[in-house]
Amino acid sequence: MRQGRWLMVLLVFALGGCTTFVARQIERPGHDNRAQLAWFRQELKRADFQFDAMHTRQAVRMAYWYGQPRAYDFSANVQEQRKDHHYSLKFDYKFGGEPAKAPFLPARGSVILLHPWGMEGSALTTWALLFASAGYTVVMPDLRSHGESDDAPVGYGPREADDIVDLVHDLRAANRLPGPLYLFGVSYGGTVALFASPKLADVHGVIALEPYANAAAVIRRAPASGLFGYRWLASWIRPREMDHAIQRASRQLGVDLTQIDPGDALAHTPSCALILRGAEDNLIAGDALRELARRSPRASYVEVSEQGHLDLPMRTDRLFPPLLDWMQALSPGTGGSCPGFAPLPFTTTP
């Protein structure tokens, strides 16, 4: 199987070159992670999460997981090890009992979890189970062209935000989304959360882990970060070819990727917004997110020490307890001040 993928990549390069390959990656995030995420889907089923779907006003089928607040005996332990310049994370996720029999809890609100590029809703299963255990209704959509949702043209933020707005309206009409409402997104999903927040009434708070401030800028950095799956691509493709790929994808998608910037949306968001970035993130530039946060007096930017782009969303041990405190400290309405946030300290295991 792996040999076949390599042959396919080499064939694409021979026929159309680096520009074609990168443009296709931009245009079609794909479903390459379905097999790797099967375990998470199984855990959601064990926890009695429902898998459902709806159609947006643009006739895009949106698939999503839906979980009610329950007293799961669930623990998510993360151990980080650094020795002789070697870095690794060890995870221990487990239920103490039978999750499908866990008693229901009164709803304290609802959280919509928005996944990274190339993933699906189930990628945030650990966050979902933690939020549900804390008393929140949880919704985990597959963004368009991801997971089980329709392969509609991606928009790198605005189009996906419109889909989320329709999903929220659908759930509210069915009385399945108790307030207050929070948006929580990671990377691609973080930017979608920023675009969606001013379009929705009564969003109580927005949490964006490592969102991008400009779509084209993060795409240019993607090959070196391994986001497209092959780190050696960075030594093959030149800046001019990257620009050509972005231009081609923009034409194919009908959007100008150089103009995808959530700053205006953030400036019009009345709720508090928290933007987090790993201090060692090699994909999202810190200066860009600092400048983004300055667009709103109700936005805060916090760097999390020792973490990179891929491992920060996994650090529920450092992030979830203070995020829960941040959410619960938000004032009703939009007139109060926004609370501060500090991640838990970084620790290593010998």
**CA nearest to 186, candidates 110, 268, 123, 273:** 123
19 or 232: which leads in pLDDT? 19
Which of 187-191, 217-221, 248-252 is least confident?
217-221
Q: How far apart are CA 136 and CA 150, in angstroms?
A: 27
Note whether 43 and 19 are same-domain residues: no
Closest by CA to 228, choosing from 37, 39, 13, is 13
- Is the Cβ–Cβ distance between 183 and 136 less than 8 Å? no
What is residue 242's predicted lDDT score, i.e. its pLDDT? Answer: 86
Does position 334 have pLDDT exceeding 70, yes or no?
no
Q: Do residues 75 and 210 share a domain? A: yes
Residue 347 belongs to a domain? no
Structure tokens at 301: 């930017």
In a domain, 188, yes or no: yes
Q: What's the chain's average pLDDT?
A: 89
Instruction: Express each pLDDT in 223-260 by its tens digit.
Output: 776 666 556 565 667 788 889 889 999 999 999 999 99
Strands (E), 142-270: 181-186, 203-209
Average pLDDT, stretch 317-345? 91
Do 57 and 15 lie in a common domain?
Answer: no
pLDDT at position 6, please? 45
Q: Are residues 226 and 287 in the same domain?
A: no
Residue of 293, 261, 297, 259 lying closest to 276 (CA atoms): 293
pLDDT band at 305 (very low <50, low <70, confident <90, very high): very high
What is the pLDDT at residue 348? 64
- Based on the fold, state whether residues 98 and 136 are members of the same structural domain: yes
Are β-strands 181-186 and 109-114 bridged in parallel, bridged antiparallel, or unpaired? parallel
Q: What is the pLDDT, as a whole number, of residue 260?
A: 94
Question: Closest Cα to residue 189, out of 313, 34, 50, 66?
Answer: 313
- The answer to whether residues 49 and 160 touch, using CB atoms and an 8 Å cutoff, is no
Supply the pLDDT for residue 110. 98
Count of the separate structural domains present in the chain? 2
Q: What is the pLDDT of residue 91?
A: 72
Q: Please say if the pLDDT value at position 12 is more than 60.
A: no
Does pLDDT of 135 surpass 60? yes
Q: How confident is the model at residue 10 (pLDDT cuts 50, 70, 90)?
A: very low
Asked whether residue 38 falls in the same domain as residue 62, the answer is yes
Q: How far is CA 71 from the centre of its chain?
A: 25
Statement to judge: residues 129 and 49 lie in one domain = yes
The pLDDT value given to residue 81: 67
pLDDT at 235: 62
Which of 304, 284, 324, 272 is closest to 127 using CA atoms? 324
The verdict on 151 and 233 lying in the same domain is: no
Q: Is the pLDDT of residue 16 over 80?
A: no
Where is pLDDT greater, at 3 or 259?
Answer: 259
Dihedral pair phi/psi, residue 115, rounded to 5°: -80, 165
- Confidence band of 14 (pLDDT split at 50, 70, 90): very low
Domain extent for 242: 1-30+217-259
Report the 10 Å Cβ neighbour count for 250.
21
Q: Who wins on pLDDT, 4 or 46?
A: 46
Does residue 11 carry a pLDDT above 50?
no
- Based on the fold, state whether residues 309 and 233 are members of the same structural domain: no
What is the reported pLDDT for 79?
74
| Among the listed residues 155, 216, 160, the one whose alpha carbon sits nearest the alpha carbon of residue 183 | 160
* Neighbouring residues of 86: CB distance < 8 A, sequence distance ≥ 6: none
- Shared domain for 56 and 87, answered yes or no, is yes
Is 50 exceeded by the pLDDT of residue 314? yes
Residue 99 has pLDDT above 90, yes or no: yes
Exposed/middle/buried for 118, CB within 10 Å: 0-12, 13-18, 19+?
A: buried
Task: Residue 44: count other Cβ atoms within 10 Å of its Cβ.
Answer: 23
Q: For residue 94, is pLDDT > 90? A: no
Only one residue has tokens 């203070």, namely 322
* Strand segments (E) across the chain: 50-55, 61-67, 74-83, 86-95, 109-114, 136-141, 181-186, 203-209, 272-278, 299-304
Let me know whether 243 and 186 are in one domain. Answer: no
Q: Has residue 344 been placed in a domain?
A: no
Whichever domain contains 143, its CATH number is 3.40.50.1820
Q: Distance (Å, rounded) from C-alpha 329 to C-alpha 127? A: 19
Quick check: is 345 in a domain? no
d(CA 325, CA 138): 18
Q: What is the pLDDT of residue 239?
A: 81
pLDDT at 1: 46
| Burial degree of 236 (CB within 10 A; 0-12, 13-18, 19+) | middle
Beta partners for 88? 81
Angle formed at CA 74 by CA 70 and CA 79, multiple of 5 degrees: 150
- Answer yes or no: are the C-beta atoms of 77 and 91 closer than 8 Å: yes
Which pLDDT score, from 0 to 100, does residue 7 have? Answer: 47
Domain identity same for 171 and 77? yes
Angstrom distance (rounded) from CA 320 to CA 126: 10
Query: Is it the case that residue 31 has pLDDT exceeding 90?
Result: no
Q: Sheet harboring 299-304: ordered strands across? A: 50-55, 61-67, 136-141, 109-114, 181-186, 203-209, 272-278, 299-304
